[in-house]
Structure 1
Amino acid sequence: MKTKKKEAYNMNAFRLLRLCNDLTVVEVAEEMQLSPQYIRDIERGYRYPAQDKIVKFCELFNISVETLDEIQNCQEKYKNEQPLKSYQKMLMRTLMNLL
């Protein structure tokens, strides 16, 4: 199911977690038994993952769905600030808000 980007789940959290765990799209896709294109579409906000896929993704990265929601809430909070130049900065801000 394709969605408009502005209405899509904040997929940067998925990419952020993948990159922080030093995994490629292909590795995540294989682990989740999904196509790499599907993972790319999720990260870009073109697709909204079903709840079972969100749970599976959280299990892969050993986090709770609530933690994923918190990461997304923090990202939403900062989206209108000056553009972040790297995922490391986004991660630092997210972690600082969770502490």
Structure 2
Amino acid sequence: MAEFTTAEWEKIKTRLAQDPDRYGLPKREYGSVVLASFNIRKLGARKQRNEATWQFLAQLCQQFDLLSVQEIMDDLEGFDYLKSLMGDNFGAVVSDVTGAFP
């Protein structure tokens, strides 16, 4: 699969910033909480995605106050990196593995 060029990433980020509602992002309103559930396909090793993709994912995730992410793999390197890109204002709570029994 071909990767986006730097110019294509800039175009995507610009369009998203200019009209987030068009792409399904809710409007930020004072006193509201913006929730999302997100499946980041096979979120695991950092090397599985290029830096531009990580930056875009972080920018997108920062749009929400509470975010549920599914399909995090056993290798937490990618999750930890994404969280670091999002900044210190964001924390994480982790649940048990789906389908796991005590």
Structure-1-length-normalised TM-score: 0.26
More helix, by proportion: 1
Q: Which has the larger radius of gyration?
A: 2
More strand, by proportion: 2
